[in-house]
Amino acid sequence: MNNPSRPSRSWTVLQATQQSPTLARLAELAADSTARLHCIAPLLPPALRKSVKAGPVEDAVWCLVVDNNAVASKLRQLLPALMAQLRIKGWAVTEIRLKVSRET
């Protein structure tokens, strides 16, 4: 049965994000994180690019999600160059955190 107090209209994700300030902010943060990853991608070794994913942004701290500890170890060596690239492109980044994904 239909609930008369609840509209039976379907929304796209885009419409929902435009109607909700919270969802709009989340979409903005996700887009920002993805843009950051695209910015640093040329600095990543080609063999590692598929193992690095954009993570959350909190103020001036950005998180990268990596597939395993070996990738994290290599990226730790590249962090100064990655941060410099982001700053050159206009992002005020003070730290990049690395999070190893636990997916199997």
Name the residue with higher pLDDT: 101 or 104.
101
| pTM of the entire predicted model | 0.78
Q: Output the CA–CA distances (angstroms, integers) from residue 16 to 9, 13, 26, 79, in the order listed.
A: 11, 5, 12, 36
Residue of 66, 61, 32 lying closest to 47 (CA atoms): 66
Indicate the SS3 state at residue 66.
Answer: strand
| Structure token pair of residue 40 | 């640093």
Residue 9 has what pLDDT? 74
User: Is a pLDDT exceeding 60 seen at residue 4?
Assistant: no
Contact criterion met (CB below 8 Å) for 86 and 95:
no
Element (H, E) at 86: helix 69-88
Question: Computed over its alpha carbons, how large is the radius of gyration of the chain?
Answer: 18
Asked whether residue 68 carries a pLDDT value surpassing 70, the answer given is yes
- CA 53, 66, 94, 42 dihedral sign is negative
Full 3-state SS string of 13-56: HHHHHHHCHHHHHHHHHHHHHHHHHHHHHHHCCCCCHHHEEEEE
pLDDT digits (tens, 9 = 90+) for 17-65: 677 778 777 778 889 999 999 999 999 999 999 999 999 999 899 999 9
What average pLDDT is seen over the chain?
88
